[in-house]
Chain A
Amino acid sequence: AQSVSQHNHHVILSEAASLELGCNYSYGGTVNLFWYVQYPGQHLQLLLKYFSGDPLVKGIKGFEAEFIKSKFSFNLRKPSVQWSDTAEYFCAVRAGEGGGADGLTFGKGTHLIIQP
Chain B
Amino acid sequence: NAGVTQTPKFQVLKTGQSMTLQCAQDMNHEYMSWYRQDPGMGLRLIHYSVGAGITDQGEVPNGYNVSRSTTEDFPLRLLSAAPSQTSVYFCASKKGGLVNQPQHFGDGTRLSIL
- Residues of A at the B interface (CB closer than 8 Å) are 4, 6, 9, 32, 34, 36, 42-46, 49, 51, 90, 92, 97-98, 101-109
Contact = CB atoms under 8 A, between A and B. Distances in A.
B44 A106 contact: yes
A103 B100 contact: no
A83 to B, nearest CB: 23
B94 A108 contact: no
B53 to A, nearest CB: 16
Interface string B89-114: 01010101011111101111000000
A4 B108 CA distance: 22
Interface string B18-56: 000000000000010101000011111100101000001
Contacts of A32: 99-100
B45 A104 contact: yes
B102 A46 contact: yes
A108 B41 contact: yes
17 contacts: A6-B42, A43-B90, A44-B105, A97-B99, A98-B99, A102-B31, A102-B50, A103-B35, A103-B48, A103-B92, A104-B92, A105-B45, A106-B42, A108-B40, A108-B41, A108-B42, A109-B42
A90 B35 CA distance: 13
Contact of A102 (B33, B43, B107): B33
Contacts of B92: 103-104
Nearest to A97: B99
A49 B104 CA distance: 13
Contacts of B45: 101, 103-105
Nearest to A91: B42
